[in-house]
Amino acid sequence: STGDINFSSFVMSLATQALMQMGQLESPPGVEVPVDLAGAQQTIDILAMMQQKTNGNLDQSEEHLMEEVLHSLRMAYVRSAKG
C-alpha cells in the first residue's frame, strides 16, 4: 500500500512536484530532473484552481495548508525565476 491518500497528502505531493520542477529540491539518486519553470507555474496554477474550486468545502487545517503551500510556492517561484 502507498498509504492513505487524502486532500492534504495530495496537495503536498503537488507542492513537492512544483519544488522539484523549480530545482528547489534534490532529485532522487540517479534521477536527473531538469528545471522546468513553465511546468512549475502550471502546477502552482493547478493548486490555485483547486483552492478556488474547494472554497468553503475544506476544514480549517486544509484551508491553512492550501494558503501556506501556495504562498511558499509562489515565493520559491519568484526566487527561481530570478535565477
Condensed to tens digits (0 to 9), the pLDDT of residues 65-78 reads 999 999 999 999 99
**Could you report the per-residue pLDDT of 9-48, keeping only the tens digit for each?**
999 999 999 999 999 988 778 888 899 999 999 999 999 9
User: Where does the pLDDT of residue 51 fall: very low under 50, low under 70, confident under 90, or very high at 90 and above?
Assistant: very high
What's at 83, amino acid-wise? G
Give the span between the Cα atoms of 35 and 69, in whole angstroms: 20
Give the span between the Cα atoms of 5 and 33, in whole angstroms: 24
Give the span between the Cα atoms of 41 and 63, in whole angstroms: 21
pLDDT reported for residue 3: 66
Neighbours of 38 (CB within 10 A): 8
